Amino acid sequence: MGAMAMKIYNGYAFAVLFAIVVFGSFMANSATTGTMDMSTAILLRVDQLGNGDFKKIQDAIDAVPSNNSGLYFIWVKPGTYREKLQVPADKPFITLSGTLASNTIITWGDTGEIIQSATLSVFASDFVAKSLTIQNTFGTSGKAVALRVEGDRVAFYGCKILSYQDTLLDDAGRHYYSNCYIEGATDFICGNAASLFERCHVHSLSTVDGAITAQHRNSPSEDTGFTFSGCKITGVGAALLGRPWGPYSRVVFALTYMSSVVLPQGWDDWGDQSKQSTVYYGEYQCYGPGANRTKRVGWSKSLSNQEATPFLTKDMIGGQGWLRPSPTHFKRGSTIVKANVP
């Protein structure tokens, strides 16, 4: 690439990066994380064509030092990255960002044990992902996790998460999903995290009675559960809102559009009637043909304003204290560059 072409390329690159950062800043709440400088991040670029710091995403993650004390921003240029990725627990405060979910794709096709099949596994705390497609292309015949999240204080913005069975293993910790698209057929949002899904599109591939959620809360003392607020549910056939992986499974749908894909009974006890008295399955001011509660199972709840209030803010995940804005400056070597520098 010639000098002039490289200059134009770099100018375009920073313009796109600025767009990503501005988008993220609107999407995230301000945070307080001790004395760490949240305005400046070390920038690592991933480009399959070799016009970055790394050609593979995992190489960029591996380059972050263990127990890092500052922000790292891994910018993934458009492309399809065939990688099975892990973000280790000793590498917090990483942002992994594409340009658009439609053109920045992380894909793998594994199956087997649910905790081993994930295309992307996040064990680190304070991780953020933006504008990425994360998919498992294994197919319809077994467990195939696209995304496993076990770290605490983890957020996803504008991502597409795609598979068939167990698509999103929302395993443990406090998590936030904003404007994400999540697709699957069987128990495709599962695990025992405390998670808030805001303005997300949930799409069921089930043709008969596959469950959207399989929340795994095991005890009434566990402060975990899934809340879907202002979301949209669509599908190709018929689906349940959820079934209990754990006996104290807790799921709430609030202010959510439900298409006719949602079965009239709404929920299932997974063949164990004893769970009917211990689960917490609630709906609040949902709408659409699938939101009609006339034939809902009697052990699900139509929530009052008072009952719904604790589920309608980021306080349920402590988000006001840890959701952070995007950095406004990027550091490369000893140089600090503003996000809007062309």
Which active-site residues does the annotation give? 166, 187
Cα separation, 152 vs 10, in Å, equals 35
Cα separation, 151 vs 88, in Å, equals 9
Report the alpha-carbon angle 171-172-173, nearest 5: 140
The greatest distance separating any two alpha carbons of the chain, rounded to the nearest whole angstrom, comes to 70
Per DSSP, helices labelled H in 285-333 are: 305-308
Cα separation, 167 vs 33, in Å, equals 31
Cα separation, 332 vs 18, in Å, equals 16
Task: Select from 301, 270, 276, 268 the least CA-distant residue to 286.
Answer: 301
Sheet with 181-184: strands ordered across: 79-82, 104-108, 133-136, 160-162, 181-184, 201-204, 232-235, 257-258
**Burial tier of 18 (Cβ tally within 10 Å: 0-12, 13-18, 19+):** middle
Residue pair 118/145 in contact (Cβ under 8 Å)? The answer is yes
- Residue written as tokens 């079965």? 263
Contacts of 18 (CB under 8 A, 6+ apart): 339, 340
* Helices and strands in the chain, H and E counts: 3, 28
- Residue written as tokens 């696209």? 146
Cα separation, 166 vs 148, in Å, equals 10
